[in-house]
Structure 1
Amino acid sequence: MPQPDPGALHVFVYGTLRSGGSNDISRFTPAPERVADGEIAGTLYDLGAYPGAVLGGEGRIKGEVYRITPALEAQLDVLEEAKPDGTGEYSRREAMVALGDRSVRCLVYEIHPARIAGRPRIASGDWMAR
């Protein structure tokens, strides 16, 4: 796997955008470059067909880090219904993601808090292993 470039744009995916998921990020154009598996502090919730992450806290969320272009970022914003005013289904955030012995700043799509009411938590933090 390539080393993360601190000046590049990276995204951390934890749900259907993961490799083998129903929205596998590798199907997008321009194709992203997989950097590594990673983990981030947060809690993962089961929303049925997809998960939602709430960042921070003691829990860990497992996922994958990809190097992406601004054009792909714009496509992900549409898919995740991320709106600049915070009213979308997800909000685009920046957070540090652990990649074993190093970390990289990534875009992360965090679920709107209203969407997780009454939804079960995924204790493992791993959508693909639920």
Structure 2
Amino acid sequence: MTAQTDLNPTPHIPCGCQQVAVYGTLRRGGSNDIRRWQPEVHWLGHCRLPGQLYDFGPYPGLVLDGSYKVLAEVYALTPDLERELDRVEEIWPVDIGEYAKHIVDVELLPLDGGPPQPTQVMIYVAQPAHLQGRAMIDADDWLEWWAKQAR
């Protein structure tokens, strides 16, 4: 069997969700700020994800267990943006198994200050096999926690 090549790429499979929530380096001001490499991305507001953050060194992993309400930013999700996010999270074109996509129900806190709106967002969740030896982060805002670390 031969390896995938550019002539025979792995097809990208979109999740079908219209919004993505980012909680780590992809947030505004993070090292992978989503707006830097995808400037036409449309920021919709904030949400809180029911989960626990884990320390993966220069980036976090999220597990959906309800320990915290993790701060995330919500963006409109286009097929092109999803493909780029999957590339950054190493789900596509080759899946290394560190993250999986999940769709969760959240309350969107719109940027215009309007009332919370129930919505679905796609998120990247850390997979159990990659949590071995990772410390839990006792915080709900990864960027704030990261800024306080002496790295």
Secondary structure of the structure 1 residue equivalent to 2:136: coil
Residue 87 of structure 1 and its aligned partner are, at CA, apart by 5.4
Secondary structure of 1:72's partner? helix
Which 4+ runs in 1 deviate beyond 6 A?
none
Match of 1:125 among 125, 140, 149: 140
> Where does the alignment leave 5 or more consecutive residues of structure 1 unmatched?
1-6
Residue 68 of structure 1 deviates from its aligned partner by 2.2
Q: Which has the higher strand share?
A: 1
Q: Which residue of 2 aligns with 1:97?
A: 106
Partners of 2:101 and 2:50 in 1: how far apart? Answer: 16
Find the counterpart in structure 1 of residue 77 from structure 2: 68
TM-score by length of 2: 0.73
2:87 is paired with a residue of what secondary structure? helix
CA contact (8 A) 1:30 1:71 kept: no
| Aligned pair partner of 1:40 in 23, 41, 49 | 49
Please show how residues 1-40 of structure 1 align to structure 2 within 5 Å.
Answer: 9-29=18-38, 31-40=40-49
Query: How many residues get paired?
Result: 124
Correspondence for 2:88? 79
Residues 18, 25 of structure 1: 8 Å contact kept: yes
Give unmatched runs, 5+ long, in structure 2: 1-15, 110-115, 146-151
Please give the alpha-carbon distance, in whole angstroms, between the structure 1 residues aligned to 2:25 and 2:97. Answer: 18
